[in-house]
Structure 1
Amino acid sequence: MSETSDPPSPREGTLTDRAVDLALRGLIGAALAMPYDRRVPFFGAAARRVAGPLAGYRRRALANLALIHPDWPEARREAVAAEALDNFGRLLIEIYSWREFGPRLAGTQLTGEGWPHLEAARAAGRPVIFVSGHFGNFDVPRQVLMREGFQIGGFFREMNNPYVNRHYVENLKGPGGLPFPKSRRGLRDFIRHIGRGGMATILFDLHDGGGVPISFLGRPAMTATTAADLALRFDAALMPYWGIRRPDGLTFDAVLEAPIPHSTPLAMMEEATRRLEAQVAAHPGQWFWIHRRWKGAPA
């Protein structure tokens, strides 16, 4: 499992890192001063029109879309890239708006076939590993389940910019979650949490150089098997869930799917990937096309 290796020691921030952090703090501060219903679309538009193009995210999204959908008209790829940048911006400010975000989900009900399986796991004290992707707002189902009395941690990758990472991590902690950073210590704490019958989320759709190639959207992508490895080790239920943004851009559908049957780590992660592919096919603009998902995979 690649997660057992520590990332490089935290580096000192550069002047550029500091400048980026100051600019981001200013933008977030200005957005947080707005009413919520204006704040979220404002940040989405800022990511779509300014930050995304300047950071190279728009170019990367278009390159990924051309790789996966060369048959699409250019106008369609541009529209999906713009929607992906907008969703990214909305998600980011929703993380920083956690005091309001959770209460706004009060009317959101969990759908899908997973609820009775989750209730059975809770009654038996069985651990649960939720898998999701960088899609829609992946924190929505966790928030909905927390309202029902579940405590759910999360395994996450820290930001490269150390200044940005400090306040990003603090806001991950804000909604009452248990964030476990992707490091040797973070993985150890995560394993202890699962071993005690806990519940936690892993976003499995980032490139992992120590993973295995699994076809994603028709191209091999290096994928960590960590979620399946731990599910087998601790007899944990492996359950996909999704927070799907509705057309109004502010509300969501929360979907909890039936567990992935235990078999081999490879087969389980292939099934998790198929489940994510179905969501991306239905809502292509909600997946993070800005990631280097197919980096280093065999042709």
Structure 2
Amino acid sequence: MPRASAKPDLLLTMMNRTASLSDRISNALFVAVMWVVQRLPYETRVPLAGRMVARIAPLIGFTRKIRANLALACPELPPEEVKRLERAVPDSLGRMLAEIYSGEEFVARVRDLPIEGPGAEALERAHRDGRPVVLAAGHFGNYDAWRAALAARGYRVGAIYRPMNNPAFNEQYVTTISAIAQPLFARSRRGLGDMMRFLRDGGMVAFGFDQFFRQGAELNFFGLPARTPLSAAEMALKMKADLIPIYAIRQPDGLSFRILAEAPVAHSDPEAMTQVLNDRLEEQIRAHMEQWLWTHRRWKP
């Protein structure tokens, strides 16, 4: 079975990244922000959540990590652009979290969005023929936007999540993301077995590939060696499934999205296929720098 490195959760990443300060403090901050913003109209709630996360970013180490990653991967950026991204990246993260916690309101806004790009036809064909699809999902934009849009079309879209250490918080989180689309598979032996059966039955499952994975292959990302999980490509080869990169790109109004499905990656070997995923994601990030998770330590010794 391929290594269990499928689709990391962006919310989980945020909570884990702040855990070094204190689990209780970071969880309390998150719950407080969500409690405040969920009592406001959607058009106010989402940008306010962005501003609030941007405001606390220096306190929880986000600003420092964004600056360090940009200095490593994009040393040519002018200081004013780095300064802009120090605020814009956590703003994008805050918006995404508010959207996920908006449940049906969020789904109603994205469910009818068109699926653009050369991968749209491949998705429709696989759905019609009952063939499995591995969706290559980066921590970019809001991945739950395309998940909701595909599910609204009747596509069977599954997602893998990592259970959180706090049982009460985990129950709340699973309930929240279940409202976007189902099924969900816990990252466990049983969950991975259920996911494999779901794919064999013609389902679609998203796999993450853009976070540091110590046992991953050393591939190129932004011109730097980056340990990268091969699970998406390995699963596509194992299941004879299309491997399709997909993105929900936030638009200038800050509230809407463009959903782009790229052409399926040609089957070859896992390293070559995953390098294509890295290259395509990098192209999207360079076009929309604030929409990627620059708070994650993607490049480690």
TM-score by length of 1: 0.90
- Judging changes above 3 Å, is the alpha-carbon distance between structure 1 residues 72 and 20 closer, same or farther for their aligned structure 2 residues? closer
Aligned residue in 2 for 1:95: 100
Q: Work out the CA distance in 2 between the residues paired with 1:14 and 1:61.
A: 17
Kept after mapping to 2: 8 A contact 1:245/1:253: yes
Corresponding residue SS for 1:206: coil
Kept after mapping to 2: 8 A contact 1:156/1:180: yes
Kept after mapping to 1: 8 A contact 2:111/2:150: no
Q: 1:44 aligns with which of 50, 55, 64?
A: 50
**1:98-123: CA deviations, max 9, x gaps?**
21001012452111011221222122
**Cα offset, 1:163, TM superposition:** 5.0
Corresponding residue SS for 1:172: helix
Aligned residue in 2 for 1:277: 282
- Judging changes above 3 Å, is the alpha-carbon distance between structure 1 residues 54 and 160 closer, same or farther for their aligned structure 2 residues? farther
**1:240-263: CA deviations, max 9, x gaps?**
100000011100100111111111
Corresponding residue SS for 2:4: helix
Aligned residue in 2 for 1:205: 210
Aligned residue in 2 for 1:3: 4
- Judging changes above 3 Å, is the alpha-carbon distance between structure 1 residues 35 and 60 closer, same or farther for their aligned structure 2 residues? same
Pairing 1:61–2:80 present: no
Q: Which moved more, 1:188-197 or 1:225-234?
A: 188-197
Pairing 1:291–2:292 present: no
Q: Work out the CA distance in 2 between the residues paired with 1:231 and 1:206.
A: 19
**Cα offset, 1:170, TM superposition:** 2.0
Q: 1:24 aligns with which of 26, 30, 44?
A: 30
- Code of the aligned partner of 2:291: Q
Q: 2:226 aligns with which of 221, 225, 231?
A: 221
Q: Work out the CA distance in 2 between the residues paired with 1:120 and 1:15.
A: 48
Q: 1:146 aligns with which of 146, 151, 163?
A: 151
**Cα offset, 1:80, TM superposition:** 1.7
Corresponding residue SS for 1:29: helix
Q: Work out the CA distance in 2 between the residues paired with 1:148 and 1:125.
A: 14
CA RMSD of aligned residues (A): 2.2
**Cα offset, 1:124, TM superposition:** 2.1
TM-score by length of 2: 0.89
- Code of the aligned partner of 1:165: N
**Cα offset, 1:14, TM superposition:** 12
- Code of the aligned partner of 1:3: A
**Cα offset, 1:184, TM superposition:** 2.5
Q: Work out the CA distance in 1 between the residues paired with 2:59 and 2:186.
A: 28
**Cα offset, 1:175, TM superposition:** 1.6
Aligned residue in 2 for 1:72: 77
Q: How many residues align?
A: 288
Pairing 1:248–2:253 present: yes
5 Å matches for 1:76-155? 76-155=81-160
Q: Which moved more, 1:181-190 or 1:254-263?
A: 181-190
Structure 2 portions without partners, runs of 5+: 6-18
- Judging changes above 3 Å, is the alpha-carbon distance between structure 1 residues 71 and 22 closer, same or farther for their aligned structure 2 residues? closer
- Code of the aligned partner of 2:159: G
Kept after mapping to 2: 8 A contact 1:214/1:222: yes
Q: 1:193 aligns with which of 198, 213, 217?
A: 198
Q: Which moved more, 1:181-190 or 1:66-75?
A: 181-190
Q: Work out the CA distance in 1 between the residues paired with 2:78 and 2:63.
A: 17
Corresponding residue SS for 2:58: helix
Structure 1 portions without partners, runs of 5+: 5-12
Identity %: 40
- Code of the aligned partner of 1:22: A
- Code of the aligned partner of 2:245: P
- Judging changes above 3 Å, is the alpha-carbon distance between structure 1 residues 78 and 186 closer, same or farther for their aligned structure 2 residues? farther
